[in-house]
Amino acid sequence: MLNSSDSFQHKILSFLARYPNEAFKSKELARRLGIRNDADYLMFKQALRILQDKQQITKAKGKRYRHHFVSQNVIGKLELTRQGSGFVFLDDSGEEVFISPRDLGLASHGDVVEVSLFAQSSQRREKDAKREGEVVRVVKRSRETVVGTLERGGSAYAVIPDDPKFGRDIFVPKESLRSANVGDKVVVEIQSWGKGHFNPEGAVVEVLGKAGEVSAEILSVAREFDLPMSFPSEVIRESEHIGVEIPETEIRKRVDFRKEICFTIDPEDAKDFDDAVSLQPLPSGNFRLGVHIADVSYYVTEGSSLDAEALKRGTSVYFPNGVIPMLPERLSNLLCSLRPDEDRLAYSVFMEVTPKGVVKDYEIRQTVIRSKRRFTYEQVQEVLDGRGSSGETVFDEFLLKMYGLSSTLTKKRMNEGSIDFESAEAKFRFDEQGKPTQIIKKARMESHRLVEEFMLLANRMVAKHIGLAKKEEHQKPFLYRVHDSPDPERIRELSAFVAKFGYKLNVDGGVLSKDLQKLLEQVRGTEVENVINEVALRAMAKAIYSERNIGHYGLAFDYYSHFTSPIRRYPDLVVHRLLKRYEGGISIQEREGYRQRLPYVAKQSSEMERRAMEAERAAVKVMQVEYMKRHVGDEFHAVISGVTRYGLFIEINDLLVEGMIHVRDMEDDYYVYDEKHYALVGRHTKTKYRLGDSVYVKVIRVNPEERKIDFVLQTFNKEKQGRKTV
């Protein structure tokens, strides 16, 4: 007969054995094992320690427990650095395996690979020491095509990849050039990955244009990230068969909100309006806040071609000069978009909120609405500032009341520990040829905060609605937006970094989100604000979608989901469907179907979100480089945004344009890299250039093909400070 400790050990091992590729925090593991009282939980914790001592379970990253690895071969996704080394991220465990360049074999960035782990020496068995290994097999290639510039060396042709992480040029036989000329930006299909020291070989399948031209470079970004530029014919046909008129039978099923005042607030150039807001004062002094979201799930049904394509894309991708939408234009800009003075189907969250920002009650209802007006952020800001009017007193009153409530909600959220990152963004103005003529640093206005605050509250209430539902025999599968607590080592590095600028982040006993928010408040408005914001962001874990709720560290929310943007995000569409299914009644079999499907949806959506963000950054870089081609020789006030042994990364303050000062161009001294102090120090003059320092620079080189801008340092004086060069 087993004693209590043995029984708990057996239960833990049996459970973890069923999920060999997953890791669980102790509280979640206890819940999944049905442990309810304090006495059992203490026995459970003791069993965990014993199993660790026996090396039958492993404590993984983020204080998670998993079944102990027996095999010395593991499988994961390879990510290469610009220096050529790699890291393989093992599924679910969070563990990273280091791969040196000589041990990569024929693997490239993004591939799923099998790795043979090297034996750890006794000196390298510290708690945080990374395992090392060798790639022995490519399980799945991340890409079959590569975007790059066609070049010629003697009689041989090669494509130089745009992505420096790809690491190797691709040889192209003359007969496979497909009318491409030297200097063209092309897409090459890899036909052989090479052997030993030989490079891959391929054939040109598409010519995008002349390398360096802005149209070809933007198109190359879309091809590089495998973003679809058109919809399959069956998807277009399906969207065209959807009627414009809303059936009266559907309207009768819903709350009719068409006579009430609601309106949209969006960017000036927006064409798809996901959300509208309303506010009704109540006799009690409270407010009835309404957040009305386009009901995309009515039009995009589960299992349809539209649905499959939306899942494949995962998200809309926004470039400076256009958008690659998740849904066809007929849906995103017409049928689903909450356009003014048109009846639209919506999913609404109505919340009774006190003047102090406390939600007293809520309901989530399917509605039909009619937006009374389309506002831009700039128009709303003028009303809030008292600089202008909407033209109608009733709207001005609504906007001012909304701003008062949103300000209260913001203050309450900050007091509860939410982190408010101020990420600066660049906006472009273009000429008739589509070339950027101006870069504007987007200001985050109170009108932005107003909308953000209401959307955050609606997302939070939807997640709570499911997550805090009464315990049932079969729990409701759901899709959450989660954000894990940061890695302690990265937080220690952040603390050391901000200390160089005179700021303090106490890491003893762990860091709460409140502590990080206090730091960001201290640096707001200073010259190092962008730099410290960026370094703090890098220290954070990445927010992802998950069927398992672990809360959202950055927002300090126990429950959070994405509900408010179903036109442009697939997870929001799924959340709408789930809410409808639970509202109408769902069978055990249907629940199990969702339980099995949601992990894939979460993973696919998270991956496509990351791809979209990387593509958007690359597209912005293309436009910045195109803009700076006209400013070679011009001088700018800038800040040092990064320090490496080979030079300084520079960001122009007002343009958010980043480039580099290479050590080879710092000719006044021999500079040594001081890694501890994030600085380059002159050996003879002792001149020091640190991360966050203000500098004056001149543009000396712009390379559109490689998306690079090179600067040199200039002497800074008051005359130059007052001179306008752009």
Q: Give domain status of residue 694, yes or no.
A: yes
Looking at the structure, do residues 425 and 335 belong to the same domain, yes or no? yes
Q: Give domain status of residue 460, yes or no.
A: yes
The amino acid that residue 637 corresponds to is: H
What is the pLDDT at residue 474? Answer: 58
Selection from 47, 37, 39, 42 nearest residue 15 by Cα: 47
Neighbours of 155 (CB within 10 A): 6
- For 254, residues 6+ apart whose C-beta sits below 8 A from its C-beta are 345, 365, 366, 367, 368
The amino acid that residue 188 corresponds to is: V
Does the pLDDT value for residue 529 go beyond 90? Answer: no
Determine whether 68 is exposed, middle or buried from the number of CB atoms within 10 Å of its CB (0-12, 13-18, 19+): middle
Q: Kindly state the tokens that stand for 153.
A: 């060396």
Confidence of residue 658 (pLDDT cuts 50, 70, 90): very high
DSSP line for 5-38: HHHHHHHHHHHHHH-TT--EEHHHHHHHTT--SH
Q: How far apart are CA 222 and CA 182, in angstroms?
A: 21
* Domain endpoint, select from 584, 617, 650: 617
Beta-sheet pairing, 131-140 with 96-99: parallel
Looking at the structure, do residues 40 and 173 belong to the same domain, yes or no? no
- For 282, residues 6+ apart whose C-beta sits below 8 A from its C-beta are 288, 352
Q: Give domain status of residue 194, yes or no.
A: yes
What is the pLDDT at residue 718? Answer: 43
Does the pLDDT value for residue 562 go beyond 80? Answer: yes
Contact 364, 469 (CB under 8 A): no
Neighbours of 79 (CB within 10 A): 16
Highest mean pLDDT among 14-28, 114-128, 257-271: 257-271
What is the pLDDT at residue 287? Answer: 97
Selection from 133, 146, 137 nearest residue 102 by Cα: 133
Q: How far apart are CA 380 and CA 597, in angstroms?
A: 42
The mean pLDDT value for 536-558 works out to 92
* Domain endpoint, select from 115, 140, 165: 140
Looking at the structure, do residues 90 and 60 belong to the same domain, yes or no? no
Does the pLDDT value for residue 722 go beyond 50? Answer: no
CA dist 706 to 152, 171, 622, Å? 17, 19, 9
With pLDDT > 70 as the criterion, what percentage of the chain qualifies?
Answer: 93
What is the pLDDT at residue 225? Answer: 93
What is the number of domains present in the chain? Answer: 6
What is the pLDDT at residue 381? Answer: 95
Q: Give domain status of residue 663, yes or no.
A: yes
Looking at the structure, do residues 476 and 360 belong to the same domain, yes or no? yes
The torsion angle over the Cα atoms of residues 49, 51, 55 and 61, rounded to 10 degrees, is -60
Per-residue pLDDT tens digits for 570-585:
999 999 999 999 998 8
Does the pLDDT value for residue 717 go beyond 80? Answer: no
Q: What angle do CA 526, 531, 537 make, to 5 degrees?
A: 120
Neighbours of 506 (CB within 10 A): 11
Q: Give domain status of residue 545, yes or no.
A: no
Who has greater pLDDT, 712 or 195? 712
Per-residue pLDDT tens digits for 478-523:
999 999 988 888 888 888 888 878 888 888 777 888 888 888 888 8
Contact 339, 374 (CB under 8 A): yes
Looking at the structure, do residues 254 and 171 belong to the same domain, yes or no? no
Looking at the structure, do residues 244 and 385 belong to the same domain, yes or no? yes
Looking at the structure, do residues 588 and 674 belong to the same domain, yes or no? no
The mean pLDDT value for 674-695 works out to 89
CATH code at 47? 1.10.10
What is the pLDDT at residue 468? Answer: 85
Confidence of residue 18 (pLDDT cuts 50, 70, 90): low
The mean pLDDT value for 181-200 works out to 86
Q: Give domain status of residue 253, yes or no.
A: yes
Range of weakest confidence among 1-10, 85-94, 237-246, 610-619? 1-10
Q: Kindly state the tokens that stand for 139.
A: 């399980």
Highest mean pLDDT among 83-92, 116-125, 288-297: 288-297
CATH code at 161? 2.40.50.700
- For 378, residues 6+ apart whose C-beta sits below 8 A from its C-beta are 268, 445, 447
What is the pLDDT at residue 716? Answer: 55
Does the pLDDT value for residue 124 go beyond 50? Answer: no
Q: How far apart are CA 218 and CA 215, in angstroms?
A: 5
Looking at the structure, do residues 278 and 194 belong to the same domain, yes or no? no
Q: Give domain status of residue 56, yes or no.
A: yes
Q: How far apart are CA 381 and CA 397, in angstroms?
A: 13
Q: How far apart are CA 575 and CA 295, in angstroms?
A: 11
What is the pLDDT at residue 8? Answer: 82
Looking at the structure, do residues 136 and 152 belong to the same domain, yes or no? no
Confidence of residue 93 (pLDDT cuts 50, 70, 90): low
Neighbours of 619 (CB within 10 A): 23
Mean pLDDT of the chain, nearest integer: 89
The mean pLDDT value for 247-269 works out to 96
Range of the domain at 185: 145-211
What is the pLDDT at residue 365? Answer: 97
The amino acid that residue 262 corresponds to is: C
CATH code at 87? 2.40.50.140
What is the pLDDT at residue 303? Answer: 92
- For 403, residues 6+ apart whose C-beta sits below 8 A from its C-beta are 384, 446, 450
What is the pLDDT at residue 92? Answer: 57
- Does this model's pTM top 0.85? My answer is no
Determine whether 88 is exposed, middle or buried from the number of CB atoms within 10 Å of its CB (0-12, 13-18, 19+): buried
DSSP line for 464-496: HHHHTSPP-SSPPP--EEEBPPPPHHHHHHHHH
What is the pLDDT at residue 719? Answer: 45
Residue with tokens 């610009």: 82
What is the pLDDT at residue 424? Answer: 75
What is the pLDDT at residue 55? Answer: 78
Q: Which helix (H) or strand (E) holds 409?
A: helix 393-415
Who has greater pLDDT, 63 or 590? 590
Q: How far apart are CA 454 and CA 357, in angstroms?
A: 11
What is the pLDDT at residue 607? Answer: 94
Q: How far apart are CA 184 and CA 679, in angstroms?
A: 39
Crossing angle of helices 488-499 and 529-539, rounded to 10°:
160
Looking at the structure, do residues 281 and 195 belong to the same domain, yes or no? no
**Cα–chain center distance at 227:** 16
- The pair phi, psi for residue 43, each rounded to 5°, is -65, -40
What is the pLDDT at residue 209? Answer: 94
Greatest Cα-to-Cα distance within the chain, rounded to the nearest angstrom = 87
Range of weakest confidence among 348-362, 559-573, 671-685? 671-685
The mean pLDDT value for 80-96 works out to 78
Within 393-479, strands assigned E span: 425-430, 436-442
Q: Kindly state the tokens that stand for 126.
A: 């510290």
* Domain endpoint, select from 119, 140, 161: 140
Per-residue pLDDT tens digits for 444-490:
899 999 999 999 999 999 999 998 876 555 578 999 999 998 888 88
Q: Give domain status of residue 119, yes or no.
A: yes
Confidence of residue 720 (pLDDT cuts 50, 70, 90): very low
Range of weakest confidence among 133-142, 184-193, 528-537? 528-537
Region for residue 41 given its phi and psi (left: phi exceeds 0; alpha: psi -120 to 50; beta: otherwise): alpha
Does the pLDDT value for residue 98 go beyond 70? Answer: yes
DSSP line for 459-472: HHHHHHHHHTSPP-
What is the pLDDT at residue 494? Answer: 87
What is the pLDDT at residue 558? Answer: 94
Confidence of residue 654 (pLDDT cuts 50, 70, 90): confident
What is the pLDDT at residue 421? Answer: 77
Q: How far apart are CA 425 and CA 423, in angstroms?
A: 6
Looking at the structure, do residues 496 and 471 belong to the same domain, yes or no? no
Determine whether 227 is exposed, middle or buried from the number of CB atoms within 10 Å of its CB (0-12, 13-18, 19+): middle
Looking at the structure, do residues 532 and 502 belong to the same domain, yes or no? yes
Per-residue pLDDT tens digits for 407-450:
999 999 999 999 887 777 889 999 998 899 999 988 889 999 99
Residue with tokens 């206005």: 445
Per-residue pLDDT tens digits for 357-380:
999 999 999 999 999 999 999 999
Determine whether 510 is exposed, middle or buried from the number of CB atoms within 10 Å of its CB (0-12, 13-18, 19+): exposed
- For 455, residues 6+ apart whose C-beta sits below 8 A from its C-beta are 275, 291, 564
